[in-house]
A and B are shown apart, each in its own frame.
Chain A
Amino acid sequence: MLTPVTDSDGAPFWRYAARGELRVQACGACGEPRFPPRPCCPHCRSFASEWRLMSGQGRIWSWVVPHPPLLPDYAALAPYNVILVELAEAPRIRLVGNLVSAPGAALDSFPPDRIRIGARVRAVFTGDGLVQWVLERP
């Protein structure tokens, strides 16, 4: 499977995720959250930033089910879902992820015919550094 190749702006996201925290970058001056992380604030041009703790709650904005041809590791799990989650505290920040049946389960563990736009989900952490998502009310 592919693992994130980080840069200096993005690295904190993955460090927090590996500790079980969903944090997004926010401006240290005006407070505006931004994603993906970047050096300065597009609203006020401040270079100060903080990593704000999120509740991990969100809603499914959209989703897809990829089928082969795919990279071999992913083809082995296909068809699987990829969802886009808008965060409860910051709806314009939408994280790409996977809806799984339980923390640590495989990408193909949740039946695609049960996925709905607008469904409430919450982030779970598996220790390998990737955020996963489970249905808030399965």
Chain B
Amino acid sequence: MSKESLSSRVSNWFKDRLGLDDLPLFKTPDYMFHVNEWLGALVAGAFFYTVISGLILLLYYNPEAGYDATETIINTVPYGSVFLYSHLYGSYAMIILAYIHMFRNYFTGAYKKPRELLWIFGVLMLVLTLGASFLGYSLIGDVLATSAVDVGAGIISSVPQLSFLLPILFGNYDSGDFTRVLAWHIILVALIGFLFVFHLLMAERYGMMPSRKVKPKAPAVYTKEEDQKFNPWWPRNFVYMMSLIFLTWGFIIAIPNALAYLNGLPQELDPFLNPKPAPPPSSPLAAQVTTYPPWFFLFVYKIADFTSDVVLFLLIGVIIPLVYLLLVPFIDRTDELHPLKRRVFTGIGILMITYLVQTSIWGDIQPGIQVSVAEQVLAYLPPAIIVAIGMAFLPYREKGSTRTKVPMFKKAQFSSPIAVLLFMILAMLMAGAATLFLASPSPLSAAIFLPILSLFVFYAKALTPVAIKAMPQGDSSASDSTSETINSTDVIKLERKKRIATYMIGVLLIMSAIIAADMWTIPSTGFESNMWGIDLGLLFIMLGEAISLYHYVVYKKPNESYE
């Protein structure tokens, strides 16, 4: 015991005092250290960031002068704009990640026994998140926020039985007093935190959803005996989680500040891409602003154009999807987990995503334009038919039957001289489109740039192994080692990668030191302060990446396959 190092003594002290070994924390099998399994941690990371930045904003926000307070935070509070914009984007990230987290678990059948309650709490948290985001958005007090509240209040008050809710929810919002909205915003977030505790404890209790290869049927949980063999929560699980959380924070902080720093973004542009508030409703400029709901409610806004009957609208837009999601664990009662063995539910899931995206985009392009029933059928029937046909005829192959994976493109095709020439043209197009996009950011230039960029990335990714490793063309069997035994070349490869990872941590240390030094020289207010925000985001990204590389070097085993 004499030769124990200081760090392991400190680590053990905490482990002992916090009783980490006795807590019902899930032990994680090696194959689960992939971001797919950790989407919940990303949502939680976004949640914690938003809470922290929100509490800082609470020090300055004055609900009796919402717009003024927002402007003051942006213009005069040191680094106020950094925290305000990243608070906004933290909530955006939380919404998007929550959707991804939910649908991923929907398709893996993670709502099934014994995780029904876990799922229901998750759906409730999504509802609370959307509500809290709406209220938070209203606190800005600009013309978009006030008109969003008007629309929301209009929807509520058009159901006579519900109009008693208006003063309870909004108070004197119309006369500029946001006290109640602020209070509800905080209350809903506190409720999310409360549900989160149970959600997390249940997730730790049942463990993450095991791979279908290991547990193909519904109660998909590891037994106590199996669980004992896995990696204990401390420290590997903790280290991996921290890397993901810091990476999430980094992107949340860096992106909006970069958008604000590139102040070429005009105010009228899509509110999603512009963290700055719109003019106040009393300003004459407000007349020129197209009123939008916040982007995450665009779908509800569009459904309002489908029918003048509010009850019907609430049913289609809110109640039916919500009730379905809450009840799905009890409707889908089989023990099958494979998406193709639950074809109806998989189909409904795909349609829900399709309709959500479709209706949101529609609401963005044509807000408030009435849609006839014929147009609705034209818009919503084809996806349903395609999904139905797909679900009916997509073949399901039993496991064990010989599966020959046919790659969509052979790697060799990418390295033929003509293909490389094509790639170079694509690269030049991409550079041109990027310049165009940066010079005049507009939906049009984005629409040109993004497809070319994705094509470029796809192509570059396909070409990289050929270019870097000088892979023999047309030979794909070399890397195919499915055997369980640890191959000594695998070990060597892994060791080499780990060595590279070690150097990368060193590089990250140097780069982060340079950035941190730079951060001390940036003024704390005004548009330059957003540069500080970009730097802070980069620091968190580098910290997250360094921890991730540390995790790779220290814990990664040569036989951890992704299942």
Is A bound to B?
A: no
